[in-house]
Chain A
């Protein structure tokens, strides 16, 4: 009873925070437009400079922050529940780096210029491969260690291939874009990117959100869950496909943003009474808040530098990760 109430409060607070951060994201930018002007320009029919800035530059940026953050939080929560492993996260197990590789191959070969959906599709395909490799390496009862090692291997390989592909491009700018693919950014993304990513993200979210009950059962162990009528093959398909589709699409348009999927579910787990089904929506909202906040900070801290988002999420995420590893080590010892 108390748990349920706390969960409802958390859900309400996170919804409010996400809403506020989304509005703030629309209001922050180098052009320094006043509040009333911004809001009226957002719904203006006239295509003047301010309307252009609000509708074509800031709106897609805020929308993508919301969508990508929700994707990372949600998929982190699902992966941790499904793999029953506190260190599972799209970036750590190599999904983000592989999605980057897929996207890079689609963009720099010119394929996505001819056929735009090739971009999210290639990222999706590469993410599926990454999840399947890591899962095969870690095995069904995989330890934390094997999962992380397999994730590190897949990540470094995908990262190296991404660098190679960019270095081999005859365009001199391509090599400099390694940073974007490794650290992620929302700068100057457009509605084109939103429309490109949205269908894949919606499909991924739908798949992931149906997993709540199955993940609850999985906390009792795989065999118990199976005896409770959970179809493990279906769960695997939905978790892998949902993560690959949503994270693939997110990475294809904003690059790989690390640590959000790791930190957010951990922070919110105490508020959900240890029930994965409650963790899923809260983590989605929490992830959206974190990415929106990081993207606002990027614009306030160093507006002229085009600081990458991954820099900020890593500053917060890496110490947290070390703390988790430390705790795991004590548990083992």
Chain B
């Protein structure tokens, strides 16, 4: 088989260059992975081969924040502290880019490989994040399957005819999500216009109750309502003005676990919003 040999000879230097440029791609797949961020927890649980993932953060087992809470009980829980993670002797640590910066620095100084993942702010980010996780864990095919699953689920949601319908998301402490956020993309995929984007908000910003009432959205989406322990943060949902507006708009309560982190299950949020918008259109104004 001269051709193959020739091909191998040709590609060998290229492979070496690639190995230098992308050590992750060439290194053998990690065998003892510890994740210390909810979003990397969920992605790793979806992608890792059996036995490859050793520990996930304690948040992964919280049914309010995590879609994969039942699965999380199969792994050891960690609390994102350098000492406990070091003692687990991982060959790879997965972390987020925003939190636990000091811990990540310390782990790297201790000689542990740490891969950081930025939060996903759009469905494109989700696809890129899944593929990178596949690369890092040496499970590219699994990652591609998940991306295909996401696209299939998105296509299955009939974006419907929601032309000109507006939606507002209202979190605890009267926060909302503007442009450049995952929920903004979720609304767009459901065929809705985000009123926070209309106000020129970018990222998470406070939406004063007055402005929410004034903007009179067609669909009022709430999140963060699932906690059983009381806090003032949720009092906004009981404010008489908010309740009056919720009665005027269509109302959808979106479990935050679908949108805190991006994954194929985020398509469920699109489906819920689209369904809410359909119901709103059918109801007499």
Q: Hey, which bits of chain A sit against chain B, CB under 8 A?
A: 29-31, 47, 49-50, 52-53, 56-58, 107-108, 110, 112-113, 169-174, 176-177, 180, 188, 190-192, 303-306
Contact = CB atoms under 8 A, between A and B. Distances in A.
Given A56-B239, A188-B236, A31 B229 contact: no
Given A52-B241, A53-B210, A190-B241, 19 more contacts: A29-B208, A31-B211, A52-B213, A52-B245, A53-B213, A53-B241, A57-B209, A57-B210, A57-B239, A107-B230, A108-B231, A110-B230, A169-B229, A170-B228, A171-B228, A171-B230, A173-B231, A177-B232, A304-B206
B206 A56 contact: no
B214 interface: yes
Most chain A Cβ neighbours within 10 Å, of B214, B228, B241, B245: B241
B103 interface: no
A113 B230 contact: yes
Contacts of A112: 230
Contacts of A30: 208, 210-211
A173 B233 contact: yes
Interface of B: 172-174, 205-206, 208-211, 213-214, 216, 224, 227-236, 238-241, 244-245
9 contacts: A31-B210, A47-B244, A49-B214, A50-B214, A56-B239, A172-B227, A173-B227, A176-B173, A180-B232
A174 B209 contact: no
Contacts of A113: 230
Contacts of A304: 205-206
Nearest to B232: A177
Given A31-B211, A47-B244, A188 B172 contact: no
A285 B230 CA distance: 35
A108 B244 contact: no
A48 B240 CA distance: 13
Contact of B231 (A29, A49, A171): A171
A55 B244 CA distance: 12
A84 B211 CA distance: 48
Contacts of B227: 170-173
Given A188-B174, A191-B240, A57 B213 contact: yes
Contacts of B235: 188
Contacts of A49: 213-214, 216
Contact of A188 (B209, B216, B228, B245): B209
Nearest to B174: A188
A50 B214 CA distance: 7
B240 to A, nearest CB: 5
B231 A169 contact: yes
Most chain A Cβ neighbours within 10 Å, of B208, B210, B245: B210
Contact of B229 (A53, A170, A188): A170
Q: List the 8 closest pairs (A to B, CB-CB), nearest first.
A: A173-B233, A56-B241, A171-B229, A31-B210, A30-B208, A171-B231, A174-B231, A173-B231
A88 B53 CA distance: 61
A174 B206 contact: no
A29 B210 contact: yes
Contact of A176 (B209, B211, B214, B233): B233
Contacts of A173: 172-173, 224, 227, 231-234
Nearest to A172: B227
Contacts of A172: 227
A180 B233 CA distance: 10
A177 B210 contact: no
A229 B202 CA distance: 68
B98 to A, nearest CB: 16
Most chain B Cβ neighbours within 10 Å, of A170, A188, A191: A188
B14 to A, nearest CB: 49
A174 B224 CA distance: 13
Contact of B239 (A110, A180, A188): A188
Most chain B Cβ neighbours within 10 Å, of A56, A58, A176, A191: A56
A304 B228 CA distance: 29
Contacts of A58: 210
Contacts of B208: 29-31, 303
A133 to B, nearest CB: 27
A306 B172 CA distance: 14
A171 B225 CA distance: 11
A305 B175 CA distance: 11
Given A173-B231, A188-B209, A56 B240 contact: yes
A63 to B, nearest CB: 14
Contacts of A177: 231-233
Contacts of A108: 229-231
